[in-house]
Amino acid sequence: MRIKQISVSGLFGIFDHVIPLNMDERITIIHGPNGFGKTVMLKMLDGFVNSRYSGFQSIPFSKFQVKFDDCNSVEIVNNLNDPENNNSISNLEKIDLDIISFTSKDKSISANINFSIKSLDNLIPEINRIDPKYWHNFTTGEILSLDDVLERFDHFVPPEIANFSRDEPKWLKEFKSRIYVRLIESERLLNLFFSPSYRFDKETASKLSTVSAYSNELAELMQKKFTEYGKLSQSLDRTFPGRVVNQKSSTEITEEKLLSQLNELEKTRSRLIEVGLLDKDDNTDFKIQPKSIDESTKNILSVYIEDVATKLDVFSEIANKIELLRKIINRKFIYSYKKINFSKEKGFVFTTCYDPSSASEQKTLAPTDLSSGEQHELIMLYELLFKVEPKTLVLIDEPELSLHVGWQVEFIKDLQEITELADLDILMATHSPDIIQNRWDLTVELKGLEN
For residue range 155-169, list pLDDT tens digits in order. 666 655 544 445 577
For residue range 305-331, list pLDDT tens digits in order. 999 999 999 999 999 999 999 999 999
pLDDT band for position 131 (cuts 50, 70, 90): confident
Q: What percent of the chain has pLDDT over 70?
A: 77
Q: What is the pLDDT of residue 117?
A: 65
Sketch the domain layout of the chain as residue ranges: 1-113+170-180+390-451, 214-316
* Strand duo 127-131 + 99-102: pairing: unpaired
Q: What is the pLDDT of residue 291?
A: 61
For residue range 413-439, list pLDDT tens digits in order. 999 999 999 999 999 999 999 999 999
pLDDT band for position 125 (cuts 50, 70, 90): confident
What span, in angstroms and rounded, lies between the C-alpha atoms of 347 and 349? 6
Between 106 and 361, the more confident residue is 361
> Taking the chain, what is the end-to-end CA distance rounded to the nearest angstrom?
38
Alpha-carbon 445 to chain mean position: 26
Q: What is the pLDDT of residue 201?
A: 43
What average pLDDT is seen over the chain?
Answer: 82
Top-ranked range on mean pLDDT: pick from 25-29, 79-83, 123-127, 362-366: 25-29
Q: Which of 145-149, 347-351, 442-446 comes out lowest in average pLDDT?
A: 145-149
Q: What is the pLDDT of residue 310?
A: 96
Q: Which residues contact 442 (CB under 8 A, 6 or more apart)?
A: 22, 25, 27, 28, 29, 412, 436
Between 153 and 424, the more confident residue is 424
Is the pLDDT at 80 greater than 80? The verdict is no
For residue range 286-304, list pLDDT tens digits in order. 556 656 677 788 888 899 9
Is the pLDDT at 194 greater than 50? The verdict is no
Task: Name the residue type at position 168.
Answer: E
pLDDT band for position 14 (cuts 50, 70, 90): very high
Q: What is the pLDDT of residue 104?
A: 35
pLDDT band for position 383 (cuts 50, 70, 90): very high
Radius of gyration, alpha carbons of the chain? 27
Q: What percent of the chain has pLDDT over 90?
A: 51
For residue range 29-63, list pLDDT tens digits in order. 999 999 999 999 999 999 889 877 767 777 899 99
What span, in angstroms and rounded, lies between the C-alpha atoms of 135 and 126? 10
Between 95 and 223, the more confident residue is 223
**Within the chain, how many helices (H) and strands (E) appear?**
13, 19
What span, in angstroms and rounded, lies between the C-alpha atoms of 428 and 186? 11
Tell me the Ramachandran region of residue 37: left when phi exceeds 0, alpha when psi lies from -120 to 50, beta otherwise: left
Between 204 and 414, the more confident residue is 414
Contacts of range 120-127, beta carbons closer than 8 Å, 24 or more positions apart: 120/149, 120/157, 121/202, 122/199, 122/202, 123/153, 123/156, 123/157, 123/158, 123/199, 124/149, 124/153, 124/156, 124/157, 125/192, 125/194, 125/198, 125/202, 125/204, 125/205, 126/153, 126/192, 126/205, 127/153
Q: What is the pLDDT of residue 118?
A: 64
Q: Which of 120-124, 219-223, 230-234, 441-445 comes out lowest in average pLDDT?
A: 120-124
**Quick one: fold of 1-113+170-180+390-451?**
Rossmann fold (3.40.50)
